[in-house]
Chain A
Amino acid sequence: MTVTPVSRSTRHVHHTHRTLSSPWATMGAIIIAAVWTVPTLGLFVSSWRPANQITTSGWWTFFAHPEVTVDNYTTTMNFVSSRITVAQSLVNSLTITIPATVIPIMLALMAAYALAWIDFRGRHVLFVAIFSLQIVPLQMLLVPLLRLYSGGVEIGGTQIIPSFPANSLGSGFAQVWITHTMSALPLATFMLHNALASIPVDIMEAAQIDGAGHGQIFRRLALPLAMPTIASYAIFQFLWVWNDLLVATIFTSGRNAPVTKILADLSGVHGQQWYLLTAGTFVAIIVPLIVFFALQRFFVRGLLAGATKG
């Protein structure tokens, strides 16, 4: 009984493999990749052209009259908004993004493990409840969270959660970390739960028989086996937080602003300096590119983690 689905799916995989590696498919993929890359290429070429050429002629004319300048990059790097430079805002972005990626993954991992392998009443209901929070849009969280941060929580005159030290426009980075963590947890828990739940029962039972407690199983077994999913979710979350502008504008004050906020300011109040955005974009995507290429081998595996289950 168990043999048939396996062999069918093996055949299916072989068939898919053949289809995807046919010369036509390869050519199609190359064409799609080229078309998708053209705008980025145009942006890249533009970022090296002088300002007056960017504003008056198309980037493709560069190849007829090549004229290269680093002015856009130097202006961008020296740009100051709310008394911080682009370089400082890159540091802010890292300061925001690293904890806002690691904290939700740590919390979600533990929750996912408990939901998948610890048998307690109502865990299925709880799991569905957590995942259904995914439908709450981030925008709806802004006002309640601001109230929570500025007023804390009081029940019957007793302060349950204290308010953050009110430097009214935001206090350091804590508000941003917590906000990103909250909005990330439902999806993170769901993805990691699926990864952990797909560990064969036999392995878990074997570990238990050998005398391993939940703590040991979690560290020695669950964590390494879930690594591809963790890595691919880390890429998602890192890119999402790195590219976020909304949470950053609401919860950070001037000097804690991330690079997205400074880039939004770069074009000027009337958008008159929009040509600088060409260089600004490339400054901002360096870090996500490094992260992506460092973790990309996990990425495809992780993407399929939820899909191939069962």
Chain B
Amino acid sequence: MAKRYVTYGLVGLTVATMALAGCSSTPSPSPSSEAPGAPEVVTIYGTPTGNEGSQWEASWQAWAAANNIDIQYTGDRDFTTNISTKIQGNSLPDIAVFPQPGLMKSVIQTGKVQPLDPTTLATLQQNFSADWQAYGTVDGQQYAVPLDASAKGYIWYSPSAFEQWGVTVPKTWDDLMTLTDTIQQKVSGPVWCAGFNSGDSSGWPGTDQIAEYLLSASGGDVYDQWVSGDVKFTDQPVADAFSALGKLWLDPKYVNAGFGGVDTINSTAFGDVAIPLANGQCALTNQATFLEASFADAKTAAGTTPKVAPDGDIWAFMMPPVAGTQSVVGGGDFAVAFTSSPAVQKVMNYLASGDYANSLITVSGATFITANKGVDVSKEADPLLAQAIQTLTDTNTTFRFGAGDTMPSVVQQAWWKGTVDWLNGASQTSVLSQIQASWADA
């Protein structure tokens, strides 16, 4: 008898849960289109979750409320895998935000992505450089709106130490090499610190720097051909980039400040370079803007938390150009629309606008930057990020995505591994031909 009550109880509980779930979920999607004044729902699907996801939501919240649109955002760490499933299964969000252009282009080629409407296209062309527009173009059609951006290739240093040594920020790569020698003589020890350890993706900090050097030395066209596999790893431009950086990384005179010899580069975690830089053991290191966060846990020689400012303990300059104008290797997120309702088009147009860029960079607690030329840089409180935005929106800047992220993933992994092997003593030629051989599996 008692057991039967348990069964009935469970069934009752199930029905109750289902009924409750039905009550709570139905009112949001269906009756909204009928009731006048109820907000229209636009779904956005992207990678950031948690705090980062909430910060994204905050960036469009005010506009959406003012325009009576309910933007429902879903973040998914496995976005890059799951979006393919959703596309094959015909279960699509209104807007998807892709973290890298390679995957996005293959998705556009499925034909399920809507081309930008004329209004959004005009806003996009007004606010973004040709480099950025090109990432969202397939067969002459424009599909994608860049949402945010990131910049790599910052060289971190200590302004107070520079003042003490009587040196200034270099303007060219050659200046940087001279500066390295000068500092080396002043401190009579290694100058640079580097850490390439990052679990199963160890080596990426090195590949980033090779990409930065190659883009700067050989220009955007060679870089694009290299990314698409037409310029080989065994060709001269890549060999030059390896040799140039090898002069720093493979010379115990220059590395690895604060850690030991050349061999410690592979064993040092990429974020740990903040520690010797903060306490003065290391003079220079190359890492993206996110290194700024690592200084919060570091200590200066005096035992205080380093102040990150142009006149403080820690600051950074962009890797100076090898030849020509400033170039930036970075990343960004791109929004594409799978549906074409007026509300979705309004959201896309807003994401391309300068107003959105201003809202994005002023989200509290966040460190977003943008390549949108409609942005008002004076609204950015963090001077380092303001500097990055200025470089990104400068019409003379050449911008390219990180080469590894755009190449097939087998090549990227071979390149990571090759970089690690190279620092472990393998010869440059054998490493380069090994990386090139991985293209066969791509």
Contacts and interface: CB of A to CB of B under 8 A. Distances in A.
Interface of A: 79-83, 94-95, 98-99, 102-103, 106, 142-147, 149-151, 165, 167-173, 177, 219, 223-224, 227, 249-250, 253-257, 264-270, 272-273
Contacts of A143: 85, 88-89
A170 B72 CA distance: 12
A178 B86 CA distance: 17
A294 to B, nearest CB: 11
Contacts, number: 129
Interface in B32-70: 41, 43, 45, 47-54, 57
Interface stretch (B7-15, B134-142, B169-177, B407-415): B7-15
A142 to B, nearest CB: 5
Interface in B202-257: none
Interface stretch (B17-25, B276-284, B354-362): B17-25
Interface string B312-339: 0000000000000000000000000011
Interface of B: 3-4, 7, 10-11, 13-14, 17-18, 20-22, 25-26, 28-30, 41, 43, 45, 47-54, 57, 72-78, 82, 85-86, 88-94, 290, 293, 338-339
Contacts of A142: 85, 89
Contact of B13 (A98, A151, A167, A269): A98
B152 to A, nearest CB: 15
A143 B94 CA distance: 19
B72 A254 contact: yes
A272 B269 CA distance: 14
B75 A265 contact: yes
B274 to A, nearest CB: 13
A253 B3 contact: no
Contact of A250 (B41, B86, B293): B86
B17 A168 contact: no
B91 A149 contact: yes
Q: Among A98, A143, A145, A169, which residue has the most Cβ atoms of chain B within 10 A?
A: A169
B53 A82 contact: yes
A165 B30 contact: yes
A168 B43 contact: yes
Given A83-B57, A102-B14, A268 B52 contact: yes
A99 to B, nearest CB: 5
B93 A249 contact: no
Contact of A167 (B29, B49, B52): B29
A223 B14 contact: no
Given A106-B11, A173-B21, A146 B77 contact: no
A250 B43 contact: no
Contact of A249 (B51, B82, B290, B338): B82
B50 A150 contact: no
A273 B49 CA distance: 12
A253 B339 CA distance: 17
Given A98-B14, A102-B14, A249-B78, A146 B53 contact: no
From B14, B48, B54, residue with most partner A Cβ within 10 Å: B14
Contacts of B51: 268
Contact of A99 (B14, B75, B338): B14
Which DSSP category, helix, strand, loop or mixed, fits chain A's interface?
helix
A116 B186 CA distance: 88
Given A143-B88, A150-B91, A265-B50, A167 B43 contact: yes
Contacts of A171: 25, 29
A269 B47 contact: yes
Nearest to A92: B21
Nearest to B79: A249
Contacts of B20: 95
A269 B91 contact: no
A81 B7 CA distance: 36
Nearest to B49: A265
Nearest to A139: B85
Contacts of A167: 28-29, 41, 43
B3 A146 contact: no
B91 A173 contact: no
Contacts of B41: 167
A81 to B, nearest CB: 5
Given A95-B17, A99-B17, A269-B48, A168 B74 contact: no
For A83, A168, A171, A224, the residue with the greatest tally of chain B CB atoms inside 10 Å of its CB is A168
A146 B86 contact: yes
A172 B85 contact: no
Contact of A253 (B4, B10, B43): B43
Given A169-B43, A169-B45, A249-B76, A146 B91 contact: yes
A167 B93 CA distance: 8
Of residues B10, B17, B75, B338, which shows the largest number of chain A Cβ atoms within 10 Å of its Cβ?
B17
A102 B76 contact: no
